[in-house]
Structure 1
Amino acid sequence: MRHTPIALAFLLTSLALPLQARTEAGPRPITPRGALSAEETANIELFRKASPSVVHITTLAARRDFFSLNVQQVPAGTGTGFVWDEAGHIVTNFHVIQGGSGAQVTLADQTSYEAELVGAFPDRDLAVLRIKAPREKLPPIAIGASRELRVGQRVYAIGNPFGLDQTLTTGIVSALGREIESFNNRTIRGVIQTDAAINPGNSGGPLLDSAGRLIGVNTQIASPSGASAGIGFAIPVDEVNRIVPRLIRDGRFLRPAIGVTAGPENLTRALGLPRGVPLVQVQPGGPAAKAGLKPFQRGRGSQIVAGDVITAVAGEAVDSLDDILSLLETRQPGDRVNLTVWRSGQSRSVTVTLGSAE
């Protein structure tokens, strides 16, 4: 390495300094910090209470060894979940475990357990696993209510972004009532939007309010790069608290049904029908058929025989079959529901006893 004349002179001068001429140096004294702010103290306490309920999920995939032909399970992806109850039920996103041959759950104390699938509902991107762990290691997460949320509220996300477990990020409720598409192309309504950093690996983790209560399950982000861009989405806890108990009880979510098939949007435009869901098929002997509903059909000479258009379910207007299904999901098979039905210029109210969609 070559030195400039000035640098060389400085180097020679510094080497020539006698030891007694050199300045004594030591660690600088620490400036007293003072008390933490109220907000910092609240953040620390929230994480201390909630983090033991958050788990790291590793999805496993079966792989056959090329030489021995033995089949073994290897890690295929990671996500987040949380403890639902002391029986060992773990809630996460369906897409976290989708396509896996097994799953492993790692608790906050770093102990790991094999998990079994209890049930899943892809329409809402929710799944329930179960592990056999001591009850003292399974503190259930506190449950809140999403219907009480307001835009601007402080929120917290705990998860495992990029495999880095027990990560806390903060933000606010950016918007309410968003719509996103689930992994089976069903619309998820009433979704919470937040700017709390959510990255790959956060999926299935809890979104908490400032009281440390679960208000949503982090599920998706909107980002051109695939990393957090300040737009994350969470399934509201009111939906979670409705669906998870049925997954635990039945192993699946039996959606109520009325036994109809909806026509395409262009049918509504072509026939000049009112806003609603035109029926092109009614299941014989099904709930809608028993209530007297009729589909649109072709008569002689390709003439269209007028059928029914469902315009509202329990007083709420509907535009698509997806709207109908979403409203029916809040009910149970066997419940009775009022439909507003239009046919040939006249509206009427029809009561239908719900069946189940197997």
Structure 2
Amino acid sequence: MLRNAGLWPWYPASYRPRAVQPRGDLAADEQSTIEIFRTAAPSVVHITSMSLQRDWLTRNLLRIPEGTGTGFVWDEAGHIVTNYHVVAAGSSFQVTLSDNTRWRARIVGGEPEKDLAVLKIDVPPNKLRPIPLGTSADLQVGQKVFAIGNPFGLDHTLTTGVISGLGREIPSQGGGTIDGVIQTDAAINPGNSGGPLLDSAGRLIGVNTAIYSPSGAYAGIGFAVPADTVNEIVPQLIQYGRAQRAVLGVGLFEDEMAQRVFGVEEGAVIAKVYNQEAAFEAGLRPPYWGEDGTLHFDVITAVDGKVIRRAQDVAKVLEGKKPGETVSVTLLRDGQEVTVSITLMPLRQPLR
């Protein structure tokens, strides 16, 4: 008892707990980071994607977890923004809020070309805190950024870093590319997908979507869809269920096929012209054999004066244009240059 009280004269000091040294106030940048997390964390949610499978013994349908990801509260109506690839394989979804309450969610819309999707939960507005929205238009390399997500199921994990690059291009879930992507060294791991990337004011500047890593784990390079793209696409998904992309109404051959079959080094070879679409009305043609045995085909070489060198360039030129706008399309047809005007039409596609 005397030893426990520290009164035994020869009781070694190393046997007793050491005194705690006062640390003083937190550094200003630490206080700022803590405040950013405290403010933004209630807006971040955990998403579980599930699929239906039948038990071969009981023949009952079971909900099997398909994967997890992150999302964030967009508005008080219960719309949740996440990545398209987080929900693409699921048939039902569960959203866990910051207070650990779980809510069944339904998909409202998705845009694979931007890797964005919107879910909806029916929750009292007072349980929802929409994330503050910033802009990606004035970002600079070197700015501090903060990522909040659920990597490996560890909910509300905060990682920090800087903007490492701007204007990057990454493959999209729809087979095209996402332009203007933000590159960051803030740690982004499996489960972070769909979570917010924040600036030092705690505003949303991007949606974490992908990492570059040979192993699949964090390797210092992460990517986020810019906030201005998110702010353009999400309202369309809420209203229409899909992005209102303007299209010509044609299918294009892949560049390798265009070169191998048609000998076209530059330009986009038209593979199909959809009936009742804009290109059909303008007289664009798919490949066909003439009576003399000659293969005829149209090659798009420019749209609104912008040179088309490969098939993906067509979608890039149409980026930001609206259905109903008119564009000038330059074609190479049987060795002759032809220019036609086409009124763009909305893309007709399923919700998912």
What TM-score, normalized by structure 2, do the two folds share? 0.86
Change in CA separation of 1:22 and 1:75 when aligned onto 2, cut-off 3 Å: same
* Structure 1: tracts of 5 or more residues without a match: 1-18
| Contact 1:144-1:237 at 8 Å conserved across structures | yes
Identity %: 54
Distance, in Å, in 1 between the alignment partners of 2:252 and 2:66 is 39
- Pick one of 197, 203, 210 that aligns with 2:200: 210
Task: Name the aligned partner's letter for residue 161 of structure 2.
Answer: G
> 5+ residue gaps in structure 2?
1-7
- Return the offset for 1:297: 4.2
Question: Is the Cα contact below 8 Å between 1:118 and 1:247 reproduced in 2?
Answer: yes
Q: Which range moved further: 23-32 or 80-89?
A: 23-32
Task: Find the counterpart in structure 1 of residue 29 from structure 2.
Answer: 39
Q: What SS class does the counterpart of residue 168 from structure 1 fall into?
A: strand
* Larger Cα-atom Rg: 1
Contact 2:254 / 2:311 at 8 angstroms: preserved in 1? no
The farther-off stretch of 150-159 and 292-301 is 292-301
Q: Which letter maps to 2:11? A: R
**1:162 is matched by which residue type in structure 2?**
F
Residues 46 and 95, structure 2, Cα contact 8 Å, conserved in 1: yes
Deviation at 1:194, TM superposition (A): 1.1
Give 1:288 deviation, angstroms: 2.3
| In 2: Cα distance, 1:60 partner to 1:295 partner | 41
Deviation by residue 1:24-81 (Cα, 9 ceiling, x = unmatched)? 5543333232222221121111111111110011112324345443323243321100
- Alpha-carbon spacing, 1:348–1:274, altered in 2? closer, same or farther (3 Å): farther
Would you say 1:291 and 2:285 are equivalent positions? no
Q: Does 1:146 align with 2:136?
A: yes
* Runs of at least 4 residues off by over 6 Å: 269-272
Task: Within 5 Å, give how 1:239-250 maps onto structure 2.
Answer: 239-250=229-240
**Structure 1 segment 1-358 matched on structure 2, within 5 A:** 20-24=9-13, 26-265=16-255, 267=258, 275-283=266-274, 285-294=276-285, 297-305=288-296, 308-343=298-333, 350-358=340-348
Task: Give the root-mean-square deviation of aligned CA atoms.
Answer: 2.5
Aligned residues: 339
**Shift of residue 193 of structure 1?**
1.4
TM-score scaled by length of structure 1: 0.85
Distance 2:342 2:30 in 1: 54
Distance of aligned partners of 1:20 and 1:154 in 2 relative to their CA distance in 1, 3 Å threshold: closer
SS in 1 for 2:141: coil
Q: What secondary structure is seen at the aligned counterpart in 2 of 1:110?
A: coil
Question: Aligned partners of 2:249 and 2:91: how far apart in 1?
Answer: 34
- In 2, distance between residues paired with 1:143 and 1:20? 64
Give the aligned residue type for 1:100: G
Q: 1:64 to 1:287 in 2, by over 3 A?
A: closer
1:172-202 Cα deviation digits (max 9, x unpaired) = 1112222222234322222211111001110
| Cα distance in 2 between the residues matched to 1:303 and 1:66 | 57
Residue aligned with 1:148, SS: coil
Structure ranking higher in helix proportion: 1
